[in-house]
Amino acid sequence: MSSLDMSKFEKKIIVRNIRYEDIDDIIQLSKICFPNMEAWTRQHLISHIEVFPEGQFCVEVEGEIIGTCSSLLINFDEYDDQHTWDEITDEGYITNHDPEGYNLYGIEVAVHPDYRRMKIGRRLYEARKELAREYNLKSIIIGGRIPNFRKYSEDMTPREYVDAVMNHHIYDPVLTFQVMNGFTLKRINARYLTDDRASMAYATLMEWNNVDYRPTTKRHFKTSFPVRICAIQYMMKKIDSFDDFAQQCEYYADVGASYASDFVVFPEIFTTQLLSFIEEKSPSQAIRRLTDFTEDYINLFTELAIKYNVNIIGGSHFVEEEGEIYNIAYLFRRDGTIEKQYKVHITPNERKFWGITGGDKVEVFDTDCGKIAIQICYDVEFPELARIATEKGANIIFSPFCTDDRQGYLRVRYCAQARAVENQIYVAITGTVGNISDVENMDIQYAQSGIFTPSDFTFARDGIVGETSPNIETVLVGDVDLEVLRRSRKSGNVTQWKDRRKDLYSIQHRC
């Protein structure tokens, strides 16, 4: 079985701590981002790395640094309410960094203008938040610029301007971004950064509170590991072009990102919607023509995952490889990398109308939210596959499906809930609804999407995180907690995973 070369589609985005060899690139980036302000010097950045390397982050794309941020630890109570940037950073050298501090103070974020609107700043903020949780810090504090204030300074006071921005009457590229990332206003500081002429030297003091903070001198690890899933119950309707399809998909990626989802999940073979503008009545020939859109599909979802900073389970798509047609589900990570899972079990319908060939391997993928597996529709009805995936470390199984009637849907649903109980994992299913009257073998759809849990007191009462109303176009957003799952496997009221009788039975597999 040959594979489509994924490397030409991947755009690897890496968030990491800065290194000495990055210094020249960061100085250049600083000059580009803040042309009318003093840029970092080599001495500043060397000091950052030597004093607090864990607090200095950059975003790298294909070897190019396109974003950076710097921070230090302090006890904020020790500083004056109306402090300046020089005071809080020791004139930019952060030699006042306090390893025992309880607040992370952010002193700069820079994103290359060519890469804005790709959630680069959000990735840097998320890196800071993760650091705050890891170090059990009370909060993150930042002195934020208000670079659009100069345009309004003759008509508004700084306070009036900030109120207008926070009430969404005015857009400010920095303050609006900070509010959208969960920061709240503490006060407005005058003469904060004297060379910031766009802000008239004013700054908003903003704070993000770490809800996981435990007030003790002894540091703790996180007590939970929440993961947010957005399942797209996708409407199959007639469209006129691939651009129509892309617009619909981007809308849902944006919706998932707006809810701060970790995963956005599309249904099985929802790309058959493209057949609504392909004039081909033979189902088998139509599917081969559909495979011509494979590269467009992969490019689209790679871009969406990066742009909206979300991991996308791209439903599934028919792909031709060495003359055979496979039903393949793709994982588009938010760092730009791609993985794929072939559908292993082919339904009689798929074999009869489309001549689909089955895959031969159960994959488990590493993500920034733990290990996951993808089992396409019919595959979740075979318990061996879920057991193999769980043995390989999967905590969540995503099962995109496409069913035409209630009976078919219930087979997927009941089996998905059984997989969640017997393996003590989370299972999320999402399907297509609507109809495409002029597409042979894809004319009707039936779905009710859901997120399912094991059945025990620590989970939702019915083992259901959430479910959609059936047969309407909608989304389902729900949280699952991997730490709760871990504890349940270890000491729940029942421990199916731990209590398997391996002395009596086992699964032998070559995948």
| CATH number reported for the structural domain that contains residue 92 in this entry | 3.40.630.30
The Cα–Cα gap between 32 and 504 comes to 66
Mean pLDDT confidence for 160-180? 93
User: Within this chain, do residues 456 and 486 fall inside the same structural domain, yes or no?
Assistant: yes
Indicate if 343 belongs to the active site.
yes
Among residues 163, 179, 209, which one ends one of the domains? 209
For 119, which DSSP code?
S
Q: Residue 256 burial by CB count (10 A; 0-12/13-18/19+): exposed, middle or buried?
A: buried
pLDDT over threshold 70, residue 223: no
Banded model confidence at residue 217, pLDDT cuts 50, 70, 90? low
- Exposure string over 28-46, b if 16+ CB within 10 A, otherwise e: ebbeebbeeeebbeeebbe
Are residues 420 and 460 both part of a single domain? yes
Asked whether residue 8 is assigned to any structural domain, the reply reads no
Amino acid making up residue 478: G
Shared domain check, 190 and 237 = no
Q: Categorize the per-residue pLDDT at 117 as very low, low, confident or very high, splitting at 50, 70 and 90.
A: confident
In a domain, 58, yes or no: yes
Q: Do 57 and 143 share a domain, yes or no? A: yes
Q: Which of the listed residues 177, 209, 241 is the one where a domain comes to its end?
A: 209
pLDDT score at 246? 97
Q: Out of 119, 343, 350, 381, which one is annotated catalytic?
A: 343
Question: What is the four-CA torsion angle of 108, 142, 260, 373, rounded to 10 degrees?
Answer: 60
Dist CA 416 CA 419 (whole Å): 5
* Average pLDDT for 46-72: 94
Question: pLDDT category, 301, cuts 50, 70, 90?
Answer: very high
> Is residue 188 domain-shared with residue 236, that is, in the same domain?
no
490 given a catalytic annotation = no
Taking 80 as the threshold, does the pLDDT of residue 511 lie above it? Answer: no
Ranking 207-211, 221-225, 242-246, 433-437 by mean pLDDT, the lowest is 221-225
Task: Give yes or no for residue 3 having a pLDDT over 70.
Answer: no
Give residue 328's pLDDT band: very low, low, confident or very high (50, 70, 90).
very high
Whether 184 is in a domain gets the answer yes
pLDDT at 218 over 90: no
SS3 427: strand
281 and 160 in a common domain: no
Domain membership of residue 507 (yes or no) is: no
**Is residue 504, in this structure, part of any structural domain at all?**
no
Q: Of 209, 235, 258, which residue is a domain's last?
A: 209
Confidence check: pLDDT of 334 > 90: yes
What CATH number corresponds to the domain at position 290? 3.60.110.10
52 and 188 fall within a common domain: yes
Residue 100 lies in a domain: yes
CB neighbours of residue 466 within 10 Å: 16
Q: Are 160 and 299 members of one domain?
A: no
Catalytic site residue from 33, 230, 377, 402? 377
Range of 113's domain? Answer: 13-209
pLDDT attached to residue 72: 96
Count: domains in the chain = 2
From 36-40, 189-193, 439-443, 456-460, the region with the lowest mean pLDDT? 439-443
77 shares its domain with 158: yes
> Active-site residue 377, yes or no?
yes
Contact 445, 437 (CB under 8 A): no
Lowest mean pLDDT among 35-44, 210-219, 252-261, 501-510: 210-219
Residues 195 and 256 both lie in one domain: no
pLDDT tens column, 234-252: 999 999 999 999 999 999 9
8-state DSSP, 262: S
Phi/psi at 228 (nearest 5 deg)?
-105, 130
In a domain, 80, yes or no: yes
Based on the fold, state whether residues 138 and 204 are members of the same structural domain.
yes
Burial 420-440 (b: 16+ CB within 10 A, else e): bbbbbbbbbbbbbbbbbeebe
What pLDDT does 507 receive? Answer: 83
Q: 416 and 289 share a domain?
A: yes
Q: Mean pLDDT across the chain, nearest whole number?
A: 92
61 three-class SS: strand
Is residue 498 very low, low, confident or very high in pLDDT (cuts 50, 70, 90)? confident
Check residues 35 and 375 and name the one with the higher pLDDT. Answer: 375
Given 60, 108, 207, 268, the catalytic residue? 268
221 has pLDDT over 60: no
The distance in angstroms from the start CA to the end CA of the chain is 14
User: Which residues does residue 325 pair with via DSSP β-bridges, in sequence order?
Assistant: 320, 356
Q: What is the mean pLDDT of residues 86-108?
A: 90
In a domain, 109, yes or no: yes
